[in-house]
Amino acid sequence: MDCINAKYVSQKISKTRWRPVSASSLQQPELLATGSWDNEDNKVSIWSVGENGGHDSTDENVSGVCCTLQTLSVLHTWEGAHHYQCARAPCTAVVCSSPELVSVGEDGRVVLYKADQSRIVRTIENADSSTIHAVTFLRTAEVLTVNSIGQLKLWDLRQGNEPAQILTLTGDRVPLHCVDKHPNQQHIVATGGQDGMLCIWDVRQGSVPFSLMEAHSAEMWEVHFHPSNPDHLFTCSEDGSLLHWETSSGSDTPSFLQGRNSSMMSRSATAPAGGNQSLISAWLSGDSSKGRLETTHMLPSQTLSVNSLDVLGQCLVCGTDGEAVYIHRRVLV
């Protein structure tokens, strides 16, 4: 708790992301970008995070964050990519897997771009009859989208205009707001919904989620697996909380893996290059009430909605509707 820094930035934050650092360097990320919303003119700002000295003193200077002198310039604008018949439609999410970009919007379209081309590469019209809230790349040419009638759709961008697979929750069609895939095991996907439920899905099997967990009391805006330590998951929500989920493989193995050497399910299990199919991630162990799941609140006190979070290495950043950015530089992963 004492390593959290808060900075008030005079704009409500809708998205915040660390600038990626190369995996080989052991540096902590230094630059982060934030996007604002609900202002008359919204901005993207780049911030640099300095080193804080004296992290165990109580009255450390709060801001190691300041705006940098780096400038951003617009490379391309794709106007009107999302539209209704006579008006523009809000674009709700963008995902990038250089140089390809995919965006989704309230008009139910999935639009593909290339970063260096000024024309849209392809549009999947009528991809959805409701608003698509989030998109993520599953494999090179596959994307996952979630929409406001609670469906997870898998699209193969090389073929056709129909989703390759549709997965839904049984029961009430609660809108899903965010999606993220497991960094190593690409069939494992986490989504967050309007009622604050965290669902873990196995895309290969079944059309229903593997496990459901009650995470928050309001909409969950973002869910992220930790990129290098996928046993850790972070979620943030409208109710002003940011949760850190940690799953650990205990010694009790699921029944269909009995006889397996339990040392294979180590905490930071990375899938071996051979793609060992029987290596089950701790997330799919199903029964969360066995106490293998630990949750910690990351923010010290109740704030307004936490709209976005990003985690890289040991650094966690999140942005809120209270016009503050919180940075934690010693996340235990």
Partner 1 sequence: MEEVDVEPTTTLIPGVGLKQKHLGFEWGPGDILVYETNFRPAGAGSGCPSVHVVRKDEDIYSPILRKLFNESHHIFVGLQNITEDVPSKNKKPQFVSISKNYRSVIRACMEELQHVAVSTQDVTLVCQYSNQVSILLATELIWNLCEVLFIDAAPAGCLLLHLLDWVRLHKADVDEKAKEVLQSDSPTNHLAYWDVVISFILQGRVDEARHVLTKQASVQAASRTLYQLMDTLLHKMPVFNPSGTQTLTEFDMKWRHWHEECDRCLQDKSFASNPHLETICKILLGDEDAMLEHKELLGTWYHFLVSRLLFSHPTVKPAELHYYAKSSMDMFLDSRSVPEPLDSILLAAFEFDLHQVIKDCSIALNNWWFVAHLTDLLDHCKLLQSHNLHFGSNLREFLVLEYASGLVSHHSLWQLAVDYFDHCPEFGRVYLELQLERVPLETERKALKVLRICEQRHMTEQVRSICKIMAKRALSNNRLGSALSWSIRAKDAGFATLISERFLQDYCTRGSFSDLDLIDNLGPAMLLSDRLTFLGKYREFHRLYGENKFTEAGKLLLSLMTAKIAPRSFWMTLLTDALPLLEQKEVIFSADQTHELMFCLEELTSDNTEPKPEPPALGEDVETAKLELLRLALARNLAMAIVKEGTVEA
Tokens coding 197: 């439920």
Q: How far is the CB of 196 from partner 1 (least distance, A)?
A: 10
Q: How far is the CB of 253 from partner 1 (least distance, A)?
A: 35
DSSP 8-state symbol, 115 = T
Burial of 134 (0-12, 13-18, 19+ CB in 10 A): buried
Interface region with partner 1, contact rule CB under 8 A, candidates 47-55, 144-152, 257-265, 271-279: 144-152
Give the x-and-dash track for 236-275 against partner 1 (CB under 8 A). --x-------------------------------------
Q: Alpha-carbon torsion 182, 185, 186, 187, what sign?
A: negative
Residue found under tokens 């540096």: 27
- The only residue of 46, 89, 208, 279 in contact with partner 1, by rule CB under 8 A: 89
Total of residues contacting partner 1 (CB under 8 A): 49
Residue 196 in contact with residue 295, Cβ under 8 Å? no
- The only residue of 27, 251, 263, 301 in contact with partner 1, by rule CB under 8 A: 301
Q: How far is CA 188 from the centre of its chain?
A: 13
Q: How far is the CB of 22 from partner 1 (least distance, A)?
A: 33
Q: How far is the CB of 319 from partner 1 (least distance, A)?
A: 13
**Residues of span 9-28 touching partner 1 by CB under 8 A:** 9-12
For residues 50-89, b (16+ Cβ closer than 10 Å) or e, as one string? eebeeeeeeeeeebbbeeeeeeeeeeeeeeebbeeeeeeb
| 308 binding partner 1? (CB under 8 A) | no
**Residues of span 156-215 touching partner 1 by CB under 8 A:** 163, 166, 168, 170-173, 175, 194
Burial of 116 (0-12, 13-18, 19+ CB in 10 A): exposed
What is the rounded CA–CA span in Å between residue 153 and residue 241?
28
Nearer to partner 1, 126 or 248 (CB): 126
Nearer to partner 1, 130 or 211 (CB): 130
Nearer to partner 1, 24 or 129 (CB): 129
Q: With CA atoms as reference, report the closest residue to 76 among 116, 35, 41, 45.
A: 116
Contact residues toward partner 1 (CB under 8 A) are 8-12, 37-40, 84-85, 87, 89-90, 92, 106-108, 126, 128-131, 147-149, 151, 153, 163, 166, 168, 170-173, 175, 194, 218-219, 238, 301-305, 321-324
